[in-house]
Structure 1
Amino acid sequence: MTAIRCDICIIGAGSGGLSVAAGAAQLGARVVLIEAAEMGGDCLNSGCVPAKALLAAAAAAEAQRRGFAGVAPQAPQVDFAAVKDHVAATIAAIAPHDGQDRFEAMGCTVIRAWARFIGPDMVQAGPQKVQARRFVIATGSRPALPPIEGLEGVPYLTNETIFALRSAPAHLLVLGGGPIGLEMAQAHRRLGCAVTVIEAGRALGREDVELVAPLLRALRDEGVTVLEGQAVARVEGAEGALRAVLADGRRVNGSHLLIAAGRRAELGDLGLETAGVAFDTRGVLVDAHLRSVSNRRVYAVGDAAGQGQFTHLAGYHAGLVVRQAVLGLPARARGHHIPRVTYTEPELAQVGLTEVEARTLHGSAIQVIRSDLAQNDRARAAGQTGLLKLIVLRGRPIGVSILGPSAGELIAPWALAMAARLRLSAPAGMILPYPTLSEVSKRAAGAYFAAKLFGNPWIRRLVRGVQRWLP
């Protein structure tokens, strides 16, 4: 069979691969897109989309449970199967945007088969061979399974399987206190399940500890048991009657086990050695241009590039690859401006450096500004609390941490400020509608200048002089 020849062959139809395919095809490149599993990848089918749909249903249940001023709380009536119907319907509504028909209509050749390199410039996908000028590895990641004794002998769930449950777990054991683990813990607790999270280190260990502490308090107040600094020595039992044995000998019983202990790049049986593509446990080894350090025909994006595991990062990478491999323009990947969000309630959002990271790099040169949502009129009206921490270096933001309602939305102007390398005068000069939560950002930026102006004796003398001079 004659090989298909194309400009760009993309392996993986998740968020990164689809973005490359769409951009390249619409610009006129000949594109082959290869995907053996479901179009849309992890984000659509077992990640971002179903998780947020589940969290939305859980939030509705919690709103009934809490009530509000003058509104009596009541116990929610949760139909767990109907909640999962909502999750499935959400995926189905978005799926056509990521579907094969749409990409074929753009001019892509879509092959639904497993791909394997059979040379530095050719892959085999099913019976078809594809020869390309450039390849993009966009195969995403899979749940990492920790080396725990007995794990291979008990039933366990991952993000790839938990959304298929039609009956609520009586007691969900969650191994891992990262974003996925805590989001699923809170969602299932609010939907009526007992939940225990077991984390070997510190929950949300990458995030600012000052903001993580109240988040964990909120989870515990809702009834989620969070055990930190507790390694699991082994797991045992059978479906419906599982047990995690901790390193100190304690036993934690549960009905279901969710593994949320991180993810690993899915490079599978791609035949990267045959193509001369260097890789390690994090992903394909790439340079600052996302190009393989050992095969210049090959790029990697998203989780496969080993630089972070976010859908929006994959989309950013895709744009850089299109710029280079399609338009022939220079582009370099930067990482300092990539935001991240843990979608618990309250949400926790971060862009740039945390305070600890900033002090490690810049010492006493940084300034830390705190803006409390308790001083925000919109938050007061809604009975909401939270905190924004702004890290400033020589008049520019280098990190922002936000804990509170809609933190994932509130981080947006700071992501823009850091991507565009704006000075703090830009957010300080925003005119925002009143009352909005977004005023917390303007307040933080304004506080930087207030400290310089209002406490400066020279400014006060200048003002007195100006007042005497003005008619």
Structure 2
Amino acid sequence: MRKPLIFLILIALAVIAAVLVADPDPDLLRKLHAGLTDWRDAHPLALPIGFFVTYVVVTALSLPFAVWLTLLGAALLGFWQGLVLISFASSIGALLAFLVARYLMRDWVRGRLGPRLAKIEKGAARDGAFYLFSLRLIPVVPFFVINLAFGLTRMKAWRFYVISQLGMLPGTAVYVAAGAQLGELDSLSGIVSPGLLGAFAALAVFPWVARAVLRLWARRRAYRGYQRPAKFDRNLIVIGAGAAGLVASYVAAQAKAKVTLVQEGPMGGDCLNFGCVPSKALIASAKAAGAARGSEALGVRAEVSVDWSVVTRRISEVIAQIAPNDSVERYEGLGVEVIEGHARLEDPWTVRIGEQRLTARGIVLATGAAPVIPPIEGIEQVEPLTSDTLWDALAAMAAPPEKMVILGGGPIGCEIAQALARLGAGVTLIEAAERLLIREDAEAAEAIAAALRADGVELKLGAKAIRFGRDTGKWLELEDGSKIEFDTLLVAVGRKARLEGFGLEELGIPANRVIETNEYLETLTPNVYAAGDVAGPMQLTNAAGHQGWIAAANALAAPFWRFKAHAAPIPHAVFTAPELARVGMTASEAEAEGIAHEVTTYPLGDLDRALAEGAGEGFVRIVTAKGSDKILGVTICGAHAAEVLAEFVLAMRHGLGLGKILATPHVYPSWSEAAKNAAGRWRQAHVNPRTLRLAERFMAWRRG
């Protein structure tokens, strides 16, 4: 070739840019276009072959020029020749990138793509070829990411190529059509020609049309073999009366939908009856005892005695006080039909409760989770308690347990261990990991471990229970050979989603550890949603409530409107003393995901209100994007941490940076100032020294 192809590419891009954003001379435009056309006519084979090879190389190397090359190729080669060459070149280049990622660069790709790779791997495992086809048809993920990521999946290379060839063809055709129209421009008036305007309109409309086609196709696949009812008994059926189910029912009732709530266990679910409410009532008594013992530093001496019967009775009273908010009577008053019994899906629209069959346009599965008892030898012999059975057992005791073992150093284990120790129990907490609260900030977890030890809890970290037994008393053996005698065992090693017995297997709804859902909480059957602990990933009451309203809103509004479930940051807290509260990611999580970040730590010992109350231990730790005040995550360890965290959650939800928090007046002296002071600490670290020197000179000049 007498002229390098790259020269032609640059000339063509300049022509396109001039037409779109500048005001060139029409004669010059015609001359440039005529020159390129003449060269193409003089080299009928060199141009297509050179272009094809260039496109393959660009795609294989994941260079960001594919769109420009597509427009250029169509402008020079025309629609049909351009479509054939670009379609095959893009697919061959994608296959080469796929093979390179699979056989030569696996570790690099995994480190480079991070969380995006995990999402694609999950989608490929769930939907296989259909998932790849949907990504190809709707370019919400850059194609080079798809090429590299699928190289790390189990998909066969030939299948990847065929699906890519078919999936990219419609979008390629739209772009080629736009490029062909640009190639026919011979004057500025052509910019507003029907053909060119139609081509760009197609570019804008295509993703919406493709998305609608995919959704229709997915629905047809999901409902194959089922007969949809001509009409429905209900707008919504909710299965489960915990936080997610109650919120979903409430939302439907407020929307004036006809909704049925099926509850097999007690209303209010685990939170009201076994979790949040009773544990916080116990912690309130323990906090009073701890405050009384620590009051001498404030000049107050107090003798502490614990009336165990009052403590346990009060737990029941608190549950009874809150129960009306979650009661059958309240929800029936709101317009919710409440049915007691076990619900099972017969098809995507039909639920059987005993002998009763109901149909609904939408169904929300909110069946919750249950405590896990690990399969350790002999554990059944020692009558283990869980968070579900603990409260009745404590109420039956005349005094706090003298020798209690808690298995598990997560939030439940830490909260109960400290609370009971403060109330006079003898507690040993065993955790297999090397530290407590393994998912939290390491320094915060260590502070809580120190607090538990100070309150009399014996911690055995990095210790694994391998055997339980009983003879004259109960005992457990650790992996190191040591034995611990106890009278009460609480197992707090986690909870598992309630998945069995609801008809999920028969409907083909994937459910391993949790029910698999998309970002709208739809299961593989689009009108069946899952929310709360059964959907994951967080087993939190506030997360369940948030998902409950998302699932209900989506079920009622489909197909006209949908909300994403993961748009809002979900905070959580461990209600020990000190408290640990967090939203978003920790610094170690940001580092593991390869996210450029900065960490700002503000010690509560610098907060005036904390010093006044003798509670200066702890810190506020903020993870921000590198060079920005965008908040990626916050961990607070200290008194009132859960309340101080709320301001950061609000900021993250609405995209406000630390600068906005710093510019907001706060009450003085207050705990909320910890947020503002932490933002100020970030600001101090980002002051430009050169700016300060210029300011100093300016002020000196102003003084004369």
Q: 1:467, CA displacement in angstroms?
A: 5.6
Give the structure 2 partner of residue 225 of structure 1.
458
Give the structure 2 partner of residue 438 of structure 1.
672
Give the structure 1 partner of residue 411 of structure 2.
179
Is the Cα contact below 8 Å between 2:468 and 2:477 reproduced in 1? Answer: yes
Q: Find the aligned partners of 2:639 and 2:339 in 1 and give their Cα distance.
A: 43
Q: Find the aligned partners of 1:305 and 1:134 in 2 and give their Cα distance.
A: 16
Q: Find the aligned partners of 1:401 and 1:416 in 2 and give their Cα distance.
A: 15
Q: 1:203, CA displacement in angstroms?
A: 1.3
What code does the residue aligned with 2:316 have?
A
Q: Find the aligned partners of 1:463 and 1:39 in 2 and give their Cα distance.
A: 66
Q: Find the aligned partners of 2:588 and 2:567 in 1 and give their Cα distance.
A: 18
1:409 to 635, 643, 646: 643
Deviations 1:204-234 (A, max 9, x none): 0000101111110111011101111111001
Identify, as 1 or 2, the structure richer in helix.
2
The equivalences for 1:238-387 within 5 A come to 241-281=473-513, 283-292=514-523, 294-328=524-558, 329-334=561-566, 337-362=569-594, 365-384=596-615, 385-387=617-619
Pairing 1:38–2:250 present: no
What code does the residue aligned with 2:366 have?
A
Pairing 1:110–2:338 present: yes
Is the Cα contact below 8 Å between 2:252 and 2:553 reproduced in 1? Answer: no
Q: 1:259, CA displacement in angstroms?
A: 0.4
Give the structure 1 partner of residue 324 of structure 2.
96
Q: 1:360, CA displacement in angstroms?
A: 2.3
Q: What secondary structure, in the 3-state scheme, does the structure 2 residue paired with 1:400 have?
A: strand
Is the Cα contact below 8 Å between 1:120 and 1:274 reproduced in 2? Answer: no
Q: 1:411, CA displacement in angstroms?
A: 0.8
Is the Cα contact below 8 Å between 2:364 and 2:552 reproduced in 1? Answer: no
What code does the residue aligned with 1:13 have?
A
Pairing 1:72–2:305 present: no
Deviations 1:245-271 (A, max 9, x none): 101111011110000000000123112
What code does the residue aligned with 2:608 have?
D
Q: What secondary structure, in the 3-state scheme, does the structure 1 residue paired with 2:233 have?
A: strand
Is the Cα contact below 8 Å between 2:384 and 2:488 reproduced in 1? Answer: yes
Q: 1:424, CA displacement in angstroms?
A: 1.4
Deviations 1:314-367 (A, max 9, x none): 11112212332223422112177211100000000111111111222345x322
Deviations 1:261-320 (A, max 9, x none): 000001231121223322112x1110111100x211210001010211000001111221
Unaligned runs of at least 5 residues, structure 1: none
- Cα distance change of structure 1 residues 4 and 288 upon mapping to structure 2, 3 Å threshold: closer
Deviation larger for 96-105 or 119-128: 119-128
Q: What secondary structure, in the 3-state scheme, does the structure 2 residue paired with 1:411 have?
A: helix
Give the structure 1 partner of residue 249 of structure 2.
21
Q: Find the aligned partners of 2:305 and 2:679 in 1 and give their Cα distance.
A: 44
- Cα distance change of structure 1 residues 4 and 82 upon mapping to structure 2, 3 Å threshold: farther
Based on CA coordinates, which of the two structures has the bigger radius of gyration? Answer: 2
- Cα distance change of structure 1 residues 470 and 18 upon mapping to structure 2, 3 Å threshold: farther
Identify, as 1 or 2, the structure richer in strand.
1
Give the structure 2 partner of residue 210 of structure 1.
443
Q: 1:109, CA displacement in angstroms?
A: 1.1
Q: What secondary structure, in the 3-state scheme, does the structure 2 residue paired with 1:449 have?
A: helix
Is the Cα contact below 8 Å between 2:527 and 2:555 reproduced in 1? Answer: no
Is the Cα contact below 8 Å between 1:11 and 1:115 reproduced in 2? Answer: yes
Is the Cα contact below 8 Å between 1:336 and 1:352 reproduced in 2? Answer: no
Give the structure 1 partner of residue 363 of structure 2.
135
Is the Cα contact below 8 Å between 2:436 and 2:446 reproduced in 1? Answer: no
What code does the residue aligned with 2:381 have?
G
Q: Find the aligned partners of 1:215 and 1:236 in 2 and give their Cα distance.
A: 31
Q: 1:464, CA displacement in angstroms?
A: 2.5
What code does the residue aligned with 1:307 have?
P
Is the Cα contact below 8 Å between 1:395 and 1:423 reproduced in 2? Answer: yes
The equivalences for 1:147-158 within 5 A come to 147-158=375-386
Q: Find the aligned partners of 2:549 and 2:655 in 1 and give their Cα distance.
A: 19
RMSD of equivalent CA atoms: 1.7
Q: 1:439, CA displacement in angstroms?
A: 1.1
Q: Find the aligned partners of 1:400 and 1:435 in 2 and give their Cα distance.
A: 22
Q: What secondary structure, in the 3-state scheme, does the structure 1 residue paired with 2:686 have?
A: helix
Q: 1:241, CA displacement in angstroms?
A: 2.9
Q: Find the aligned partners of 2:612 and 2:695 in 1 and give their Cα distance.
A: 40
Is the Cα contact below 8 Å between 2:277 and 2:319 reproduced in 1? Answer: yes
Q: 1:120, CA displacement in angstroms?
A: 2.5
Q: Which runs of 4+ in 1 moved over 4 A?
A: none
Is the Cα contact below 8 Å between 1:78 and 1:191 reproduced in 2? Answer: yes
Q: What secondary structure, in the 3-state scheme, does the structure 2 residue paired with 1:326 have?
A: helix
Give the structure 1 partner of residue 685 of structure 2.
451
Q: Find the aligned partners of 2:491 and 2:254 in 1 and give their Cα distance.
A: 40
Is the Cα contact below 8 Å between 2:350 and 2:358 reproduced in 1? Answer: yes
What code does the residue aligned with 2:500 have?
G
Q: Find the aligned partners of 2:565 and 2:355 in 1 and give their Cα distance.
A: 35
Is the Cα contact below 8 Å between 1:172 and 1:256 reproduced in 2? Answer: yes
Deviations 1:406-459 (A, max 9, x none): 111111011111111212111111211110111111111112222222x51233
Deviations 1:34-83 (A, max 9, x none): 00110000000000000000000111122222223221142x22122211
Q: 1:4, CA displacement in angstroms?
A: 8.0
Pairing 1:419–2:653 present: yes
What code does the residue aligned with 2:286 have?
A
Q: What secondary structure, in the 3-state scheme, does the structure 1 residue paired with 2:546 have?
A: helix
Aligned residues: 463
What code does the residue aligned with 2:281 have?
A
Is the Cα contact below 8 Å between 1:121 and 1:275 reproduced in 2? Answer: no
Give the structure 1 partner of residue 422 of structure 2.
190
Q: 1:463, CA displacement in angstroms?
A: 4.7
Q: Find the aligned partners of 1:277 and 1:57 in 2 and give their Cα distance.
A: 44
What code does the residue aligned with 1:81 have?
S
Deviations 1:75-108 (A, max 9, x none): x221222111111111111111100011111111
Q: Find the aligned partners of 1:335 and 1:210 in 2 and give their Cα distance.
A: 29
Give the structure 2 partner of residue 159 of structure 1.
387
Give the structure 1 partner of residue 125 of structure 2.
none
The percentage of aligned residue pairs carrying the same residue is: 38
TM-score, normalization: structure 2? 0.64
- Choose between structure 1 and 2 for higher RCO, CA contacts under 8 A separated by at least 6 residues: 1
